[in-house]
């Protein structure tokens, strides 16, 4: 095996086409066995369900090389479960869990030369997704679907060092109560684009979304969950039915409690109490945790004591422990590491 000649450390987060992808089709009420193919393009009818009514869901995870040279992914069973929940909410036939895990294994194996080496900070990002393919013009679920998985190498998230983020409390809402905020659907991102472009134009890194019903409680950002640390070192994460259940956040809560011996709470978090927290971070597959230094609400600034130049001490311990588990430097809880072989 020959690693591709890529400048791993200087890769960004962009699409770099790799050689192989996995494809399975749903037709006549069943998913087929799926194949690994070379064709990166999709030919669809002009009236395909996904193009008209956005019937599509996705997942995101990573493969990387551990310290001892194994290629692994992190808790892909939870991606399979979450994809199933997303499918059910959008009337898409559930993709079987065993086949999901097999597809991840096959596609990573087929692109193993694109899995960045240990220590480069880069990873192979894996994108599974499903979309309605047959013509749909009257509003209803499609009858035929395609499941695909492609991979793309992505660079280290904290290139040039960690830089705490500045957030804006968005004037827009991300998710309605009883809506689709808890599933990983492209539609949640389509409607967030205007909000994030606006926030960037105003000089912010990300949006903090509040609950749409009362606009008093913290939900999440466009693509990452919140973790807060109180002054007495309790790790707090917002609880809400309209937050997307981040696998990174759920894992960090286990790390906080079981590895670091910290108190953890998943509960409603009121915007008013943010000013009393010691640290704040955003959790997701891309960065694991990005520290937040400042949150601005209609011109009023909340600055966390951890400051604008580094991660807070507890955020840093959480980050180092979870990345240590992922990279094989720290023993993982049973079932967290899925080896590709
Ligand atoms: C994917 C996603 C996250 C992060 O989830 P991970 O499983 O940790 O990658 C958080 N919020 C939203 C809205 C997401 O789509």
Spatial distance between the Cα atoms of 235 and 256, rounded to a whole number of angstroms:
7
**pLDDT at residue 30, as a whole number:** 98
CA of 158: how far to CAs of 11, 118, 162, in Å?
Answer: 11, 16, 5
Q: With residue 51 as reference, give the H or E element that holds it.
A: helix 49-53
Domain assignments of the chain as residue spans, ordered by start: 8-154, 165-326
The overall pTM is greater than 0.95: yes
Please identify every stretch of the chain with a pLDDT value under 50, giving residue numbers as ranges.
none
Q: Is residue 144 within 8 Å of residue 26, measured between CB atoms?
A: yes
184 noted as active-site residue:
yes
Q: How would you classify the pairing of strands 71-74 and 337-339?
A: antiparallel
Q: Is the CB of 284 under 6 A from ligand 1?
A: yes
Cβ burial 277-297 (10 Å sphere, 16+ → b, else e): bbbbbbbbbbbbbbbbbbbbb
Spatial distance between the Cα atoms of 151 and 154, rounded to a whole number of angstroms:
9
Q: Is the CB of 179 under 6 A from ligand 1?
A: no
Mean pLDDT for the chain? 96
> How many other C-beta atoms are found inside a 10 Å radius of the C-beta of residue 140?
12
**Residue 166 phi, psi dihedral angles, 5° rounding:** -110, 125
DSSP state of 244: -
CATH no., domain 8-154: 3.30.470.10
**pLDDT at residue 159, as a whole number:** 81
Spatial distance between the Cα atoms of 331 and 341, rounded to a whole number of angstroms:
20
CA of 230: how far to CAs of 117, 174, 227, 275, in Å?
Answer: 37, 26, 10, 10
Q: Is the CB of 224 under 6 A from ligand 1?
A: yes
Please, what is the Cα angle at 60 between 114 and 115, to 5 degrees? 15
Which residue is closest in CA terms to ligand 1's atom 10?
Answer: 224
| Architecture of the structural domain at 165-326 | Alpha-Beta Barrel (3.20)
> How many other C-beta atoms are found inside a 10 Å radius of the C-beta of residue 17?
10
Please tell me the distance between residue 138's alpha carbon and the centre of ligand 1 in angstroms.
Answer: 32
Please tell me the distance between residue 316's alpha carbon and the centre of ligand 1 in angstroms.
Answer: 20
CA of 77: how far to CAs of 82, 104, 338, in Å?
Answer: 9, 10, 9
Q: Is the CB of 242 under 6 A from ligand 1?
A: no
Q: Is the CB of 128 under 6 A from ligand 1?
A: no
User: Which of 73, 79, 58, 84 is closest to 247 using CA atoms?
Assistant: 79
**Residue 110 phi, psi dihedral angles, 5° rounding:** -65, -20
- Catalytic-labelled residue, pool 184, 239, 294, 317: 184
**pLDDT at residue 2, as a whole number:** 82
Q: With residue 254 as reference, give the H or E element that holds it.
A: helix 247-254
Ligand 1 binding pocket mutation candidate from 183, 184, 186 (most atoms within 8 A of CB) = 184
Q: Is the CB of 206 under 6 A from ligand 1?
A: no
**Residue 126 phi, psi dihedral angles, 5° rounding:** -120, 125
Ligand 1 binding pocket mutation candidate from 56, 59, 60, 188 (most atoms within 8 A of CB) = 60
Q: Is residue 47 within 8 Å of residue 176, measured between CB atoms?
A: no
Spatial distance between the Cα atoms of 161 and 159, rounded to a whole number of angstroms:
5
Work out which ligand 1 atom sits closest to the CA atom of 225.
10
CA atoms within 13 A on the CB side of 117: 11
**Residue 328 phi, psi dihedral angles, 5° rounding:** 80, 15
Q: Is the CB of 173 under 6 A from ligand 1?
A: no
Furthest-apart CA pair in the chain: how many Å?
58
Which residue is closest in CA terms to ligand 1's atom 14?
Answer: 223
Q: With residue 194 as reference, give the H or E element that holds it.
A: helix 193-201
């Amino acid at each position: 095996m020959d690693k591709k000649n890529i400048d791993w450390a200087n890769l960004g987060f962009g699409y770099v086409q790799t050689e192989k992808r996995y494809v399975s089709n749903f037709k006549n009420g069943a998913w087929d066995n799926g194949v690994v193919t070379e064709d990166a393009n999709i030919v669809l009818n002009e009236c395909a369900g996904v193009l008209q009514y956005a019937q599509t869901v996705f997942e995101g995870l990573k493969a990387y090389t551990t310290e001892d040279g194994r290629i692994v992914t992190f808790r892909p069973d939870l991606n399979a479960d979450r994809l199933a929940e997303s499918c059910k909410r959008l009337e898409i036939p559930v993709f079987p869990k065993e086949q999901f895990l097999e597809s991840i294994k096959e596609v990573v194996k087929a692109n193993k030369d694109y899995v960045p080496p240990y220590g480069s900070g880069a990873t192979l990002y894996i994108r599974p997704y499903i979309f309605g393919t047959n013509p749909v013009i009257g509003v209803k679920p499609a009858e035929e679907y395609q499941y695909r998985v492609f991979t793309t190498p992505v660079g280290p998230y904290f290139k040039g060092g960690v830089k705490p983020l500045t957030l804006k409390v968005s004037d827009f809402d991300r998710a309605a109560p009883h809506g689709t905020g808890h599933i990983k659907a492209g539609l949640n991102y389509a409607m967030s684009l205007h909000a994030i472009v606006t926030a960037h134009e105003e000089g912010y890194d990300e949006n903090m979304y509040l609950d749409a019903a009362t606009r008093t409680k913290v939900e999440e950002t466009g693509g990452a969950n919140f973790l807060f640390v109180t002054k007495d070192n309790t790790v707090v994460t917002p609880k809400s039915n309209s937050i997307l259940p981040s696998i990174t956040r759920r894992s960090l809560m286990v790390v906080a409690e079981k590895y670091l011996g910290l108190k953890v709470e998943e509960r409603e978090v009121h915007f008013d109490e943010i000013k009393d927290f010691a640290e704040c971070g955003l959790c997701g597959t891309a960065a694991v945790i990005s520290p937040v230094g400042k949150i601005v609400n209609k011109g009023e600034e909340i600055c966390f004591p951890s400051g604008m130049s580094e991660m807070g001490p507890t955020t840093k311990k959480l980050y180092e422990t979870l990345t240590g588990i992922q990279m094989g430097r720290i023993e993982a809880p049973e079932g967290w590491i899925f080896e590709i072989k």
